[in-house]
Structure formats: structure tokens, C-alpha cells
Amino acid sequence: MGASGSGKTSMRSMIFSNNPASLTSRLGATIDVEQNHVRFLGDLILNLWDCGGQDAFMDSYLTTQRSTIFSHVGVMIYVFDVETREMSKDLEYYRDCLEGLTQFSKEANVFLLVHKMDLIREGDRAAVFQRKVAELEKASGETGVKVYGTSIYDESLYKAWSSIVNTLIPNARNLSKHLRIFAEACSATEVVLFERTTFLVIATSSPSDTSDTFSSDPVAAHKLDPKRYERTSELIKSFKQSCSRLREEFHSLELELAEFTAVLDEMTKNTYVLVVVHDPVVETAAIKMNIRMARRKFE
């Protein structure tokens, strides 16, 4: 959900259809609702509704289509253009949508994206974002919301979408536990599981609440970049696009640097795993063999 031109179809086409950001300017306005079924993980199918944001459509979602639009919602993602000149109208529609959710899908999670952050000067971004967060939290009243600053031109989009999708994966915690055991078996600093087509992060071996703060061992010892997950998603996605331009298919990646070794390889039919090892004694071939042997367990 979100006003016309706020960037909903652009982010959908980048994450779920692997289109580059440069092509999003050619997208036309969405007419009514565009539904996509994305097979995400095995039997987990995301039913994605991209609701065109022109006023006439919004009015219809809130009246005649109300029960269709707001029933059985797992997550509502409301996109706000950070530079909008019509914030009060946006907020009015947003509050109406929250009411729709309260009526038909009480349990739904709500994510708010303050989008097109690239349009704000870098030095002002943090302050502008904080102001928006305060404004949006106030408008949300009692509803608990998560707010992310996003742009299609950097990795921020992947961070937001990974956490959105995470709330929809029923066994994400269990997966993290198994990844921790696998990381230990590989003497790895960290193991990250990505969804195959979107390259969104599904689970990591590091506890999620400490992934940004370096407080967990062994991640702490190596001062890993807090943006490493979403950066990897973004980089691999554009590398895959380059591969497909050359009519090649991306299969796996090995990096052997002075400080660490990293292997990115298929884990299951729907996932890729990234194993990062700082121990120089561990050979890449051994990591690959461990991945091969763990496949059946994770399938």
C-alpha cells in the first residue's frame, strides 16, 4: 500500500522479478491490484498484492473492496515517499488502512517504508528519518509498527524486505539453531541462508538481535560489517543479472582472501548458503564438502 509513485512496483520488480533499478522509471502506474504468487521456500508461497495508489483505487479498497483487500493479511507494507508533498493525505489513507486491518486481520504485522531515501542529502538522512519515524509512530497509535528507511539504489531495501519476509517464515528460529550447529562443524565465523531467487536473508547463525552490535562471539572477534547481509543480497543479485546478460547461470562463488575464506553455494532447492571462515587452516574444499553433506538435513 502507499500513494501513487511512492515506489511499490519498483521494489517488487527488483526483489521478486530481478529487474535492475535503472529500469524502474519505465514502470507504468499500477491499475487496481496486481497479485503475484511467489514460491518462496518449498511449500511457502507468498501472495503479494501490489495495490495501485491512485486516489480512486485507494477509495475503492477502503469501501467496496474493503473485505477483499483487508482479509487474511499476513503483513501490510505501507510505502511513504520521503519527499511527498501530500503527507497529511498519505497519513489519512494510512490510518484508514490500519482501521481496515483492525477490522479484518487483527494479527497482521505492519511495516512502514520511508522510501527514496537516496533523494535526501547524506548528511541529513538520519535526522529526516528520525523525524519521519516519530510522525509515523504517532499516526499508528496503538499499532506496533516497524519503520525502515529504504531506497532502490542501495542495500537498504534488502534489509527491510528480509525482516518483512522473516516474520512470515514459520520455522526461522529453528533454522538459525541448525545453522549455528553447521557453523560450528565448519569452524565458520558465520553462516547465512539466502532464498534462491530473491536472495533475501532467511536465517543466520548469529542471533538476530546482536547481528548489528557485534556483541556475539565469534562475530565480535572479527568486527563484521553490520550491513553485510543486505550488501551480500544486493551484490549477488547484480552479479546474477550480469551473468544472465552473458547467458550464463550463477551457481556458486568462492573467495579466498588473506583474512578469510567465503563460500556461497546451493544448500537446498530454494536456498543458498554463505559460509565465512576466518581460520586459515580450513580449506575451501572442506567447506564445500560440508555443505554437500548438510544438504539432505536442510532440504
Sheet containing strand 271-277, edge to edge, reads 201-204, 190-195, 271-277, 261-268, 253-256
**Closer by beta carbon to ligand GTP, 156 or else 206:** 156
State in angstroms the smallest separation of the CB of 28 from ligand GTP: 7
Q: Is 59 in the site for ligand GTP (CB under 6 A)?
A: no
State in angstroms the smallest separation of the CB of 284 from ligand GTP: 37
Q: Is 149 in the site for ligand GTP (CB under 6 A)?
A: no
Q: Is 19 in the site for ligand GTP (CB under 6 A)?
A: no
Q: Is 8 in the site for ligand GTP (CB under 6 A)?
A: yes
Q: Is 208 in the site for ligand GTP (CB under 6 A)?
A: no
Q: Is 1 in the site for ligand GTP (CB under 6 A)?
A: no
Site for ligand GTP in 114-143 (CB under 6 A): 115-116, 118-119
Q: Is 9 in the site for ligand GTP (CB under 6 A)?
A: yes
**Closer by beta carbon to ligand GTP, 122 or else 259:** 122
Size of the site for ligand GTP (CB under 6 A): 23
Residues that bind ligand GTP (CB under 6 A): 2, 4-10, 24-25, 27, 29-30, 52-54, 115-116, 118-119, 151-153
